[in-house]
Amino acid sequence: MIPIAKPIIGEKEKSMVIEVLDSGIIASGSYVRKFEEKFSRYCNIREGIATTSGTSALCVALKSLGINSGDHVLTTPFSFIATGNSILYCNAKPVFADIDENTFNIDPDKIEEKLREDDKINTLLIVHLYGLPCNMSKIMKVVKEYQIYLVEDCAQAHGAEFRGKRVGSFGNISCFSFYPTKNMTTGEGGMILTNDKEIAENCRLYINHGMSERYKHETVGFNYRMTNIQAVIGLCQLEKLDKLNSKRIENASFLSENLSELEWLLIPIVPRGYKHVFNQYTIKVSDRNSFVRYLSKNEIGYGIYYPKTICNQPLYRKLNLYERFSVAERIAKMVVSLPVHPSLSTNDLDYICGKIKEFER
């Protein structure tokens, strides 16, 4: 079976984990601080706060902005559930805007429509889905005009760029995930980035029981601290992130070159000026059920990210948050992600493309 994802853990990661274990300081410590500094510098941001996951990063990011009951946060309906749930964790109301047919990202024109309709929206939470940046020129124009907070969910977009600027460096605050399927991993883990010192201090309070100094608790916080074990893995992964991203881009180019002429399949697009880092290589097919059965039969791993919109989930229906979004709902029935990870061999890629061409026949 060719897996849909395969984290690359090298000898350096293993030796560094042993070094941390031998030190006896395995909880949050100096390695976490070093990882925060190096990752924030990589993204050209001043402050980095490491967390337990991408989900906890989103939750803390919104709380650090003061998002609470009565606030409305605008986001995409087409993402992993954590994007919407992070808003619910703050007792705020998620509001959704439809996506762009080609990029799968939130549609800037629909953002503006929602902002005109709902004056309680004070925050926009965007997702750079599958590794492709959102249209940041249009989004930044809207954010400035309506004077709202911008939060970037970069869980799938480490190292992605819009017109030469890395994602995670546009908004008031941004969040990353280091889950094993991401472009770099710490096993579990996340990171918050911001240039605002006050926001950063709020984040540090929230991840550490609301504690400003030992046993002095300023607010209700959480235990969302990253460990030294995770951090040393992250430091090693960060060193090779650009190389691994280049391999993903190379693999995606191979797939696109070989699949672009198939009339029943639509390959992902990369608009001019965007750097897509292909956390997922996501195609659109009309007869998805037959296609994924065929992939399974031929031992080709795949993913369906995501089969339902967030607001079509049972929880959101119970909360009367369901809205119909024609583009997002249609796309949710068509998307299939193919293996694109750096561990793929040339033989793997040839096999994937060959079998997909045979499906057409």
Q: Summarize pLDDT for 136-191 with one digit per residue, the tens.
A: 999 999 999 999 999 999 999 999 999 999 999 999 999 999 999 999 999 999 99
The rounded Cα 320 to chain-centroid distance in angstroms is 26
pLDDT at 61: 98
Q: What's the average model confidence in pLDDT over 330-350?
A: 98
At 350 the pLDDT is 98
Whose CA is closest to 159, among 50, 272, 43? 43
Average of per-residue pLDDT across 123-134: 98
Mean pLDDT (whole number) for 41-56: 98
Per-residue pLDDT reduced to its tens digit, 312-337: 999 999 999 999 999 999 999 999 99
**pLDDT for the residue numbered 340:** 98
**What pLDDT score does 30 carry?**
96
Q: What is the pLDDT of residue 216?
A: 87
> Where is pLDDT greater, at 219 or 229?
229
CA distance 180 to 188: 7
pLDDT digits (tens, 9 = 90+) for 224-264: 999 999 999 999 999 999 999 999 999 999 999 999 999 99
Cβ atoms of residues 301 and 351 within 8 Å: no
Residue 360 has pLDDT above 80, yes or no: no
The span from the first CA to the last CA of the chain, in angstroms, equals: 22
Task: Judge whether residue 361 has pLDDT over 90.
Answer: no
77-78-79 Cα angle (round to 5)? 110
CB 182 within 8 A of CB 80: no
pLDDT at 343 over 90: yes
What is the pLDDT, as a whole number, of residue 212?
A: 86
Instruction: Report how far apart, in Å, the C-alpha atoms of 271 and of each of 102, 215, 265, 286 are.
Output: 10, 51, 19, 23
Distance CA 356, CA 181 (A): 23
Where does the pLDDT of residue 46 fall: very low under 50, low under 70, confident under 90, or very high at 90 and above?
very high
Average pLDDT over residues 197-210: 96
In sequence order, the β-bridge partners of residue 266 are 284
Q: How confident is the model at residue 284, as a pLDDT?
A: 98
Q: Is the pLDDT of residue 59 over 80?
A: yes
What is the distance of C-alpha 314 from the center of its chain? 23
pLDDT at 213: 85
What pLDDT does 75 receive? 98
- Give pLDDT tens digits for 79-128: 999 999 999 999 999 999 999 999 999 999 999 999 999 999 999 999 99
- Burial class of residue 112, CB neighbours in 10 A (0-12, 13-18, 19+): middle
pLDDT tens, residue by residue, 140-151:
999 999 999 999
> Do 355 and 258 meet the contact criterion of CB atoms below 8 Å apart?
no
**Which pTM was predicted?**
0.97
Residue-range domains of the chain with CATH = 11-239 (3.40.640.10), 241-360 (3.90.1150.10)
What are the structure tokens assigned to 303, written together?
Answer: 């993913």
- Looking at every residue in the chain, the average pLDDT score rounds to 97
